[in-house]
Chain A
Amino acid sequence: MTIHAQQRFDSLIEADERIEPDDWMPEEYRQTLVRQIAQHAHSEIIGMQPEGAWISRAPSLHRKAILIAKVQDEAGHGLYLYGAAESLGTTRAELLDRLHTRRQKYSSIFNYPTPTWADVGAIGWLVDGAAIANQVPLCRCSFGPYGRAMVRICKEESFHQRQGFQILLRLTEGTAEQKQMAQEALNRWWWPSVMMFGPPDSESVHNARNMAWGIKRFTNDELRQGFVDMTVPQAELLGLTIPDPELRWNDERGHYDFGEPDWEEFARMVRGEGDLPEQRLRVRREAHENGAWVREAAAAYAARQRQAA
């Protein structure tokens, strides 16, 4: 039975077809996906915080409207992704509990501060740009519900990236002060974005297995290179300088060469050191705890309605 099921799983993977929730799958495959999808979902909802904090202060009504729509999309992404994870047998409540008790992580990119309006632009342009580079291949993820969720998410992310770019474009066309604000935001967000693809391939522990399973389609370094190649011309269009003295076009490789990120800092961010990770989780936990009586009331009301029916 299990041998037969394993063979079927292997042949589906081999044929690059989709595994669906009711199909047999190796326990490790399931757990890897639950962890990855949950971390992705957590990142969406934690990522609402740094941008959400700017909704109230957005400097024009047009920008405010776009930002509300973007943050709303992120809540929606969280919902699809928790839904995809639930199809593997772990409830949203359990996954949120793992986030709140630090048993699961979210992307450490959201542990960087967003001190100015330009940071909202930089997050859209760079962080969402890196997310797209990471996520487009996930649309072909071997696990069906995740791949399908990613198709919709990627469409919305490309709108998010454009809005970030537009914010910065307006700033770079503006006063000297606005342009400086944009450059400083790029300085803050460039290296963290480059590091979003994870450690170098030489140190990435799950690369090979996840590629064999069709969960991952490109290595961290391949994705990172694609992001740099895509972003450099956009920075030139904005008239901003990427803070990397080693950045230059390599004719032979047909790619940009670039410097080595500070992996020590990356490790510190992944460990969640500093005040900001604590604050992000506190906001999340407080929202959840303060909402407990609301959820209880909804459940009590629904139960009474069912009884009456």
Chain B
Amino acid sequence: MNTVADPLLAHVLRHGDRALVLSQRLGQWITHAPELEEDMALANISLDLLGQARHLYTYAGELEGQGHDEDHFAYWRTSTEFLNPLLVEQPNGDFAHTMIRQVLHDHAALLYWQSMTTSRDQTLAALAVRARNETEFHLRHCRGWVVRLGDGTDESHRRAQAGLDALWPYAEELITAPADDAALRSDGLIGDDIADAWRADVAATMAEATLTLPVGVTAQSGGWTGHHSEHLEGLLQELQEVASAFPGAKW
């Protein structure tokens, strides 16, 4: 569970972890994608997210003031110390599943980074401009796929709908701010609430994709405070495998 006392540090780690865990998931697609172009695109999105995570972790190290670098936060924390939302740790599933996960995420990420461009925190505001521009591309790419799959063949529609049904319980958490964000918001360190805008954007995308938003689903949450699904543990074991075998080594 979350033991980070400083709300700004917790916030920065949440979004660093969100970006790193999703980057790791997308990296698993490389050499398995349906087209060579898609190997490239998924690698590219993975790389952008990794870049965002690295900036956020470096800043977290500054905020924390204990001399930790970016690798400390990625390689030397346990799964209960990770504060990413549950959606991004969910397994890749098939291509439709991955694209649905990505579009739900990217709609939230775009609104989030847009809102952060006016943060009073200069570091975050500067990163937000770059991350917003990157996320615009990611969203365009993945939204295009969700529409093509939803409105493609019977099989692709069925798979896209199955992905949406499976992942929808994890979607709301993306836009449900943890309690300690409230103080940051009133201090102008983080931007406006994005929940309503996200719901409208997602509804529009799914309508164009001829997909049906599930109703009456019990939302899952806990990721932002370190309560994870079983999937995160395996993901981190792989990510940390080499580094943890050589404590103190430089790479």
Contact = CB atoms under 8 A, between A and B. Distances in A.
Interface of A: 45, 48-49, 52, 55-65, 68-69, 71-72, 75-76, 78-79, 82, 117, 167, 170-171, 173-175, 177-178, 283, 286-288, 290-298, 300-302, 304
A106 B30 CA distance: 19
Given A45-B31, A294-B34, A297-B152, 10 more contacts: A56-B28, A61-B71, A65-B50, A72-B44, A75-B30, A79-B36, A287-B33, A294-B35, A297-B153, A298-B148
A117 B27 CA distance: 17
Given A71-B30, A173-B250, A291-B33, A56 B239 contact: yes
A309 B95 CA distance: 28
The main secondary structure of chain A at its interface with chain B is helix
Interface residues of B, number: 50
A48 B30 contact: yes
Interface in B24-80: 24, 27-28, 30-40, 43-44, 46-47, 50-51, 53-54, 57, 70-71, 74-75
A293 B40 contact: no
A282 to B, nearest CB: 11
A290 B32 contact: yes
Contacts of A283: 31-32
22 contacts: A48-B31, A52-B30, A57-B239, A59-B249, A59-B251, A60-B75, A60-B243, A61-B70, A61-B74, A65-B54, A68-B30, A174-B249, A175-B246, A175-B249, A291-B38, A294-B156, A296-B152, A296-B153, A297-B149, A297-B156, A301-B151, A304-B151
A177 B94 CA distance: 39
B50 to A, nearest CB: 5
A115 B220 CA distance: 39
Contacts of B148: 297-298, 301-302
A123 to B, nearest CB: 15
Contacts of B156: 293-294, 296-297, 300
Interface in B205-251: 238-239, 241-243, 246, 248-251
